[in-house]
């Protein structure tokens, strides 16, 4: 009892938290110093090229060496046909592709139906007509 009161007084004096039941409460992380500001100071700020151009009255066609290299790479990829498609064209290409696949699948189904009809109507020596309209051919229903 005396120890408990002593601990309470100590927690008030030294600004500590009481936790008699040893329950997890996350104070370890709440009391930790924040590292966000230090992490932001670690990396240097990148200069804003637009603002730099305005302040120094540079021509609008001013380009850095990295930008020149990037433009050269883009041109090279375009010549090889590796550049990304124009905006909006991707959707058109996808729609055409889907339409072609649907058309192919319809043609395939129609072709299969014609083949089955031809097999059913073919006069084969082993084929016999069934009462329900099917054809029995060598113990197989077509």
Residues 116-128, mean pLDDT to the nearest whole number: 59
pLDDT of residue 142: 46
What residues are paired with 128 via a beta bridge? 136
pLDDT of residue 81: 86
Q: Quick check: helix, strand or coil at residue 61?
A: coil
Q: CA-to-CA distance for 17 and 7, rounded, in angstroms?
A: 10
Element (H, E) at 127: strand 127-129
Q: What is the pLDDT of residues 2-23, one digit of tens each?
A: 888 888 888 889 888 888 788 8
pLDDT of residue 28: 83
Residues 84-95, mean pLDDT to the nearest whole number: 69
Residue 123 has pLDDT above 70, yes or no: no
Q: What is the pLDDT of residues 11-67, one digit of tens each?
A: 889 888 888 788 888 888 888 888 888 888 888 777 777 777 676 776 767 778 888
pLDDT band at residue 89, thresholds of 50, 70 and 90?
A: low
Long-range CB contact pairs, 125-134, < 8 A, 24+: none
CB of 62 closer than 8 Å to CB of 53: yes
Q: What is the pLDDT of residues 93-109, one digit of tens each?
A: 677 777 777 666 666 66
Q: Where are the domains of the chain?
A: 89-141
Q: Quick check: helix, strand or coil at residue 21?
A: coil
pLDDT of residue 73: 93
């Amino acid at each position: 009892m005396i120890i408990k009161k002593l601990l309470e007084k100590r927690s008030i004096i030294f600004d500590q938290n009481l936790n008699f039941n040893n329950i997890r409460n996350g104070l370890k992380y709440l009391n930790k110093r924040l590292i966000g500001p230090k992490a932001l100071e670690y990396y240097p700020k990148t200069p804003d090229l637009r603002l730099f151009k305005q302040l120094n009255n540079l021509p609008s066609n001013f380009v850095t060496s990295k930008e020149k290299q990037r433009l050269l790479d883009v041109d090279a990829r375009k010549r090889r046909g590796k550049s990304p498609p124009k905006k909006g064209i991707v959707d058109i290409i996808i729609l055409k592709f889907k339409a072609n696949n649907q058309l192919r699948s319809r043609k395939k189904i129609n072709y299969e139906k014609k083949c089955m009809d031809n097999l059913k109507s073919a006069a084969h020596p082993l084929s016999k007509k069934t009462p329900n309209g099917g054809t029995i051919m060598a113990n197989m229903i077509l």
